[in-house]
Amino acid sequence: QQQVKQSPQSLIVQKGGISIINCAYENTAFDYFPWYQQFPGKGPALLIAIRPDVSEKKEGRFTISFNKSAKQFSLHIMDSQPGDSATYFCAASGGRSNYQLIWGAGTKLIIKP
Amino acid sequence: KAGVTQTPRYLIKTRGQQVTLSCSPISGHRSVSWYQQTPGQGLQFLFEYFSETQRNKGNFPGRFSGRQFSNSRSEMNVSTLELGDSALYLCASSLGSTAGGPLHFGNGTRLTVT
């Protein structure tokens, strides 16, 4: 029940296209859903995060869509650029006393010029 | 503000040895978490320290241990190294006072066990 399942494992998108990465969770106590971006040789960095009181959050070309009833959330990258090529991790945490993030397995995204 | 600093960046050890990795969090951050990252295994949570106390622990053997000092700096120790311990070890800091805050990662220590 603590798992976060992320798909696909890898993704190749043409420059200018839309990249979509999906995550599913089981624990209904989760109330914080961040996405992290990791470039080679670097640690992950927070990209965008959402809480379940909204169904969508947009920051520039990056959008999180959240479906509470389906227990799914996804990252959409509009107008994907070669500089977006990185590994993306979704995560979740929740419960009043649970500070630990549960991580998805990661998606390696390659944007072809 | 300086970011999270991990030292050393690279380390080569022999099977059976022990190793200590260091992490200096962002100033003012009281929580430090450690992760192991291997190709195909994603981010595996090791443990988290908050105000010098271990608050959460992942499913790793007792050979993996850590501690946090009063200035929030943290160390991770791995004893009796095995070949499978070769990985990128990441440290992340956060304010840690409430659930659901951003983690700030260092660039990791790349450990190779031969």
pLDDT reported for residue B107: 96
Q: Which two tokens stand for residue A25?
A: 């969770």
* Among chain B residues, CA nearest to A87: B42
The model's confidence at residue A19, banded by pLDDT at 50, 70 and 90, is: very high
Q: Which positions of chain B have pLDDT values less than 70?
A: 97-100
pLDDT reported for residue B95: 86
The whole-angstrom distance between B58's CA and the closest CA on chain A is 10
* Among chain A residues, CA nearest to B99: A99
Average pLDDT over residues A14-27: 97
For B36-57, write each residue's pLDDT tens digit.
999 877 899 999 999 999 988 8
pLDDT reported for residue A97: 47
Q: Is the peptide bond before A8 cis (omega within 30 degrees of 0)?
A: yes
Contacts of A51 in chain B (CB under 8 A): 100
User: Considering only CB atoms, which residues of chain B are within 8 Å of chain A?
Assistant: 4, 31, 41-43, 45, 48, 50, 55-56, 90, 92, 96, 99-100, 102-108
Residue indicated by tokens 């996804």: A74
pLDDT greater than 80 at residue A107: yes
Measured distance CA(B95)–CA(B87) in Å, rounded: 26
* Among chain B residues, CA nearest to A101: B100
Higher pLDDT, A112 or A94: A112
pLDDT reported for residue B100: 66
pLDDT reported for residue A1: 61
For A62-86, write each residue's pLDDT tens digit.
999 999 999 999 999 999 999 999 9
Measured distance CA(A43)–CA(A41) in Å, rounded: 7
pLDDT > 90 fraction of chain A, expressed in percent and rounded: 80
Measured distance CA(B12)–CA(A56) in Å, rounded: 45
For A89-106, write each residue's pLDDT tens digit.
999 987 654 667 889 999
Q: Is the peptide bond before A34 cis (omega within 30 degrees of 0)?
A: no
The whole-angstrom distance between A16's CA and the closest CA on chain B is 28
